Structure formats: C-alpha cells, structure tokens
C-alpha cells in the first residue's frame, strides 16, 4: 500500500526505473524508503526549525532567509537520500538516479513548504515565516 503510493509518486514523473532489472529494488525499497525518509526528515527539520530553534531556543533564526536556509538544507538531504539509497541497494547508478534525486528535491521543497504552513502556527518566534498566511491571529 505504502509502497504502491511512493512507487506511483515517483514513477508518475520518472517513468519506470532504469536500468529495468532493478525495478523492484526501486519499487519495493528505494522509492518507499526515500519517500518515508523524505517525509520524516522534512518533518523533523520543520519541527526543529519552528519548535526547537524558534520556540524552545528562540535563536533569532526567524527570518525568511533562515527559513530558506533550512529549506535548502532539506533539499540537499533530499538529493543525497536517493543517491545513498540507490548505492546502498547495489543498484547501478544511471541518469535516472539523478532525475530521481532531482524529483525528490522538488518534492522536498513542496513538502517543506506544506509542513511549514501546517506547523508554523505553533512557533513563537517564526509563526509568520515564511508567510503570515494562513494564520490570522
């Protein structure tokens, strides 16, 4: 179920895995792992940004430029995960791998923004970062 979801999520844009002989490594391991890790890590970074750095610690990293820094950090991790996953599973690296990593970066941006919008409400210092919307207060 979860596998199917991530498999669809990535193949929607990437097409079937190349080289094809690692299709089920991608579908059963790499896609779900990458997707889950992406969600977990993005969530963790968003939580760290909003709740640790801008609530518990109040570090002053509340500006949009700081948020962008973490967005980029997350994007870099999002690029590394697929590459690591592919190598860890003994899959031959192919330009597909990097398209996959690139797509994961795109997803990381979307997800980071989404989590930010959903979770920033609970931050004391940065609940208006990156945008005030949709919180009214």
Partner 1 sequence: MLPNTKFYSIHIALIGLLLTLAGCYTKQSAEEERDPDIAVPPQGRSSAEAPAEPTELQEPSTVHVNVYLEISNGMKGFMPPVVAGKAGTEFQERMNRLVSEVQDGRYVDRKAFYLAKEDAQGKPVLDSVSYNVIKKYIANGIRDDVRGTPLPEMLRAALQQSLDHEAVAVIISDFIHGPSDQGQFLSLDSDIRGALREAERQGLVVAVLGDLSAFHGTYHPAVKKPEVRRILKGEQIPFYTWVIGKQPDVQVVINRVFRDLPQQQAYFGFAYKTTPFSALLKSGNFKPAGIVYCSSRNADPCTSVNLQPQPDEQVEFTVGIDLSTLPANMQRVAYLKQHLKVMGNGCRAAMVSVIATDEGIRATPDLARYTHFVRVQVTQLTANSGSVYIQLPHVYPAWVEKWSTENDNNPIKEPGRTYQLTKIMDGVQALYRDQSDHIFNVSVQFNKAD
Partner 2 sequence: MAKLFVFGIGGTGSRVIRSLVMLMAAGVKIQNCDKIVPIIIDPDTQNGDMNRTVELLKTYKQIHDSLGRRDDGFFHTDISTLSSIAGDGNAKIRDSFVYDFGGINKPFKDHVGYNQLDIDSQSLIDLLFTPENLNNSLDVGFRGSPNVGSVVLNEIIDSPEMRFFASNFQAGDRIFFVSSIFGGTGAAGFPLLLKNFKDSRTGLPNAASLNSALTGAMVVLPYFSLEQPAAGVEADFIDSNTFTTKAKDALSYYQHHLNGVNAVYYMGDTPDKPMENNPGRASQKNDAHLVELLSALAIVDFMDYSDNELGGNEVYHEFGLREDVSHVQFSHLDTETRDRIATQLIRFHYFERYFTKHLPDDAQAAYAKSVDLGSAVRNDQSFKELSKFLTHPEFGYQAWLRELGRKERTFAALDLNETDFNRMVSDKQIETGFLNKGIHQGAFVKELNRASESISDREPFKATIKAFEVATERLVEEKLKYS
**Footprint of partner 1 (CB under 8 A):** 16, 19-25, 28-29, 32-33, 36-37, 40-41, 44-45, 48, 52-53, 57, 59-61, 73, 77, 80-81, 84-85, 88-90
Cβ-Cβ contacts under 8 Å for 44 (sequence gap 6 or more) = none
CB < 8 Å & 24+ apart, contacts of 36-39: 36/2, 36/6, 37/81, 37/85, 38/78, 38/81, 38/104, 38/107, 38/108, 38/111, 39/111
Residue 64 binds which of partner 1, partner 2, none (CB < 5-8 A, kind-dependent): partner 2
Min separation Cβ 136 and partner 1, Å: 29
Residue 123 binds partner 2 (CB under 8 A): yes
Residue 124 binds which of partner 1, partner 2, none (CB < 5-8 A, kind-dependent): partner 2
Q: What values do phi and psi take at 102, rounded to 5?
A: -65, -45
d(CA 89, CA 73): 24
Residue of 15, 36, 63, 106 that binds partner 2 (CB under 8 A): 63
Min separation Cβ 135 and partner 2, Å: 8
């Amino acid at each position: 179920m979860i596998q199917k979801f991530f498999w669809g999520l990535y193949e929607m844009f990437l097409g079937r895995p190349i080289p094809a002989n690692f299709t089920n490594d991608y579908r059963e391991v790499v896609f779900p792992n990458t997707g889950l890790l992406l969600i977990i890590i993005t969530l963790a970074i968003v939580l760290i940004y909003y709740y640790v750095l801008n609530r518990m610690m109040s570090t002053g990293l509340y500006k949009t430029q700081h948020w962008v820094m973490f967005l980029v950090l997350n994007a870099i991790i999002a690029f590394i995960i697929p590459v690591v996953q592919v190598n860890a599973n003994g899959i031959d690296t192919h330009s597909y791998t990097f398209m996959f990593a690139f797509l994961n970066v795109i997803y990381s941006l979307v997800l980071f923004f989404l989590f930010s919008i959903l979770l920033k409400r609970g931050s004391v210092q940065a609940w208006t970062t990156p945008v005030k919307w949709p919180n009214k207060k």
